[in-house]
Amino acid sequence: MVHQIFSVLLMVFAIAVCSPFHAAAQLGSSGHRTSWDAPNLQGVWDFRSLTPMERPTDLATNETFTEEQAVEFSEQEIGRRSRDNDTSGRVVPYNDFWFDEGTTVTTDRTSLVVDPANGRIPEIMPSVARKMSAVARARRGVDPDAPTSGGFVEDLGPGGLRVRCVLGFNSGPPMTPGAYNNNVQLFQTAEHVVILNEMIHDARIVPLDGRPHLPVGIRQWMGDPRGHWEGDTLVVESTNFLRETMFPNSTANMHLIERFTRMDDNTLLYEVTVEDPTTWSRPWTFSVPMKRNSEPMYEYACHEGNYGLYNILAGAVTEETR
Give the 3-state DSSP-derived string for 236-300, with helices as H, strands as E and coil as C: EEEECECCCCCCCCCCCCCEEEEEEEEEECCEEEEEEEEECCCCECCCEEEEEEEEECCCCCCCC
Using CA atoms in the order 292, 19, 224, 158, what is the torsion angle rounded to 10 degrees? -50
pTM, rounded to two decimals:
0.87
The alpha carbon dihedral of 130, 112, 273, 61 has a sign of positive
Cα–Cα distance, 296 to 274 (Å, whole number): 30
State the 10-residue block means of pLDDT for the chain, 322 residues long.
47 44 37 93 97 95 94 94 84 86 94 98 96 89 80 70 88 96 97 96 94 96 97 98 95 97 97 98 98 93 76 83 84
All residues at 6 or more sequence positions from 183 whose CB lies less than 8 Å from its CB, including other chains: 44, 45, 46, 47, 197, 198, 293, 297
Please report, as a single letter, which amino acid is at residue 44.
V
pLDDT of residue 149: 76
Task: Determine whether 30 is exposed, middle or buried from the number of CB atoms within 10 Å of its CB (0-12, 13-18, 19+).
Answer: exposed
Could you give the CA distance from residue 84 to residue 246 in angstroms, rounded to a whole number?
A: 26
Check: CB of residue 262 under 8 Å from CB of residue 268: yes
Q: How many CB atoms lie within 10 A of CB 231?
A: 7
Write down the pLDDT at residue 16: 45
- HSE, CB side, 13 Å, CA atoms: give it for residue 42: 27
**254 near 275, Cβ under 8 Å?**
yes
E strands within the chain? 43-46, 113-115, 183-188, 192-197, 203-207, 224-230, 233-239, 255-264, 267-275, 284-292
CB within 8 Å of 227: residues ≥ 6 apart: 193, 206, 207, 208, 234, 235, 236, 237
Instruction: Report d(CA 183, CA 185) in Å as an integer.
Output: 7
Using an 8 Å Cβ cutoff, are 179 and 101 in contact? yes
Amino acid at 124: I
Nearest to 73 by CA among 49, 38, 89: 49
- pLDDT at position 304 is 66
The answer to whether residues 247 and 272 touch, using CB atoms and an 8 Å cutoff, is no
Q: What does the alpha-carbon distance between residue 275 and residue 163 come to, in Å, rounded to a whole number?
A: 26
Q: What domains, with CATH codes, occur in the chain?
A: 21-49+120-321 (2.40.128.20)
First to last CA, the chain: 51
Helix (H, G, I), strand (E, B) or coil at 205: strand
Q: What is the pLDDT of residue 289?
A: 97
Q: How high is the pLDDT of residue 291?
A: 97
Q: In terms of Cα–Cα distance, which of 171, 166, 187, 176 is closest to 288?
A: 176
